[in-house]
Structure 1
């Protein structure tokens, strides 16, 4: 996309991005649903989790101690400022993972900023704990401390389960939807689990973003997926096989 704002070209890129993003998200959600049993908290926490069967005493105690340390590290910090401690057994209302849009702020020249959504990366959370609602609770000066506490506990629980699931990262990477952990705008140092797609999305020039937001009257924007990005997709297994063949003895 060039510096000049071509409305027809931009609309075409937006439509193309939406079609590709929907397909990618559906594939990522299908993989996530299939592998969800590997990140269920019940086997890890046993009796420390409300309604879960008793587990291996030493192992479940180890996971709870790790989780309590994780909670103590993040809950008291801004923007949460939570002072209440964990109650045992932990009440995990829903442990079904779901994908939510990844958003971040992008500063434009002149001091303005737009909220950008990625069409090729998603934050993993639990159903009934939408990331957008979490953001609303944080920003609400009259927020419910108990609701905020539940959000922090659930997202930290998901991070703990994903980070302790041995081999899960290799599985997702093999499926070409790698899993990583990162901090997000509005949530301080809280770590989130993010699934990326095999195709990259990018921002056009600030001039294009400015024109688009002025026309739409919105302060939000979505990254774009180009045909070149799709053509540039890499197959890690293919590359690995090619390297192996090239390195094999000739005789």
Structure 2
């Protein structure tokens, strides 16, 4: 969506965006904390994880076999190039879900380097202690620690596996108006990530405004904006389903 703003309007929208983004983030984190028990790896993999209680042997064995296949196909490819095998039992350093900024790069005419764009209303789901920004830094570091890279790859893949095998979780979050999707992200090859959306969309204004903002701020970052009209026009999915149902009688 392309819109033209003067500087005063831009500042007002940026303040509104920050308030809305913070409120939605807190609401999403509250839901995620409540639903966290549904995606605990210890309940899925049992004795295949260090310190986890013994679970259903057959189910845990099947889950670990599937996870091992996922790990091998993902970790061996670019940009990870890991040849380290999974040692049983696996050590999981954190299983508390957290939300990390959803970011992407935008190339603009007049800039040599891309601008890092952040969405205020979408987030990447990860485990506590495994910040996405740090993961990206590890990948890009030529002197990176193989052990640290291995931990990041295992933890993000394990989260994806646990969420993907619980389809009811996605339906529940969708009912709460925070849709869950699986996406690949730039810099991370074919690794699948869990991305949590929200009831409100965010947009980039005209590229000239993005360029001007980064020049004034003296940095290479920009946050998408949420417009008041997006909130006014929010759809109530339950209302729409009920109206559709009675219309068909």
TM-score by length of 2: 0.97
**Structure 2 CA distance for aligned equivalents of residues 19 and 237 of structure 1:** 26
Distance of 1:64 and 1:38 partners within structure 2: 17
Deviation, 1:39, is: 0.5
In structure 2, how many angstroms separate the alpha carbons of the residues matched to 1:86 and 1:235? 45
Report the alpha carbon displacement of residue 116 of structure 1 after superposing the two structures with TM: 0.2
Runs of 5+ consecutive residues of structure 2 not aligned to the other structure: none
Gaps of 5+ in 1: none
Offset, 1:110: 4.6
Residue in structure 1 matched with residue 10 of structure 2 by the alignment: 10
Aligned match of 2:85: 85
**Which residue of the partner structure matches residue 34 of structure 1?**
34
Distance 1:184-1:201 versus aligned 2 partners, 3 A rule: same
Is 2:59 the partner of 1:59?
Answer: yes
Output one character per residue of 1:107-153: Cα deviation in whole Å (capped at 9) or x when no partner. Answer: 21256421000000000000011111111111111110000000000
Q: Which residue does 1:161 correspond to in 2?
A: 162
C-alpha distance in structure 2 between counterparts of 1:27 and 1:53, whole Å: 31
Give the match's secondary structure for 1:103: strand
Superimposed CA distance per residue, residues 160-217 of structure 1 (whole angstroms, 9 cap, x where no aligned partner)? 0000013111100000001111011211111100100000001111111111111111
1:1-251 to 2 correspondences below 5 Å: 2-3=3-4, 6-110=6-110, 112=112, 113-248=114-249
| Ranges of 4+ aligned residues in structure 1 off by more than 4 Å | none
3-state SS of paired residue (1:167): helix
- 1:76 shift after superposition: 1.0
TM-score, L = length of structure 1: 0.96
Change (3 A) 1:8 1:66: same
State the alpha-carbon separation in 2 of the partners of residues 71 and 2 from structure 1. Answer: 43
Report the Cα distance in structure 1 between the residues aligned to 2:3 and 2:81, rounded to whole angstroms: 45
Question: RMSD between aligned alpha carbons?
Answer: 1.1
CA distance in 2, matches of 1:176, 1:107: 31
* CA–CA distance in structure 2, aligned partners of residues 166 and 56 of structure 1: 20
**Aligned residue-pair number:** 247
